[in-house]
Structure 1
Amino acid sequence: MIVCHCMNITDHDIHAAIDWMRASDSDTIITPRKVYRALGKAADCGGCISLFVDVMRKNDNLGVPMHLRGLRRAATQETTHEGRR
């Protein structure tokens, strides 16, 4: 299925890029911009971004690596009022 008509990106292209990125770096956080860059393209009009993200979410390799989950929560728990310890 064609996801982005402007850049001629298919759902297969998106899944292949995500799989390639995860295989090359298991710790990477995969974003739509990184997928576009892996494909050698850039978002043009942005009309496809919601469908693009929906296709990304269907990929099993998209998840945040387990050891990187909760980092934001841990950082906020270390600080007290107004960011002071």
Structure 2
Amino acid sequence: MLICHCNIITEKEIEQTIIGLLDEDPWQLIVPAKVYHAMRKRGRCCGCFPNVVETIIRVTENYHARSEGSGADHLDRVRGLRVQYGSRFHERRSADHRAA
């Protein structure tokens, strides 16, 4: 699936980059800018960043679930923060807002 239309980046490419970053340091903070930097790309319109964040969360959860000593307590805390601070708003707009 195509995630970034500006740079023509697929979901699979982003997933592979995230896994590569996690292989370097499994507990580092990964943000869209770090993923794009590792791919030698840059965000242009940055409309894809919410999808990249969701991909980072999904891939990181799966990565730690597969690894030894999965740190289930840590993942539970991260999921709690996601619910608390998660994607209720996108650019300060409510979920029912439509741009077009």
| Aligned match of 1:77 | none
Mark the runs of 5 or more structure 1 residues left unpaired by the alignment. 71-85
Of the two, which has the highest radius of gyration?
A: 1
Once the two structures are overlaid, the 10-residue window that deviates more, 47-56 or 31-40, is 47-56
What is the Cα-based RMSD across aligned positions, in Å?
A: 2.3
Secondary structure of the 1:58 match is helix
| Aligned match of 1:11 | 11
Q: Which has the higher contact order (CA 8 A, sep 6+)?
A: 1
- Amino-acid identity (%): 31
1:45-84 pair list within 5 angstroms? 45-59=45-59, 60-61=62-63
Which portions of structure 1, spanning 4 or more consecutive aligned residues, are displaced by more than 4 angstroms? none
Calculate the TM-score normalised by the size of structure 1. Answer: 0.65
Calculate the TM-score normalised by the size of structure 2. Answer: 0.57
Mark the runs of 5 or more structure 2 residues left unpaired by the alignment. 65-70, 78-100
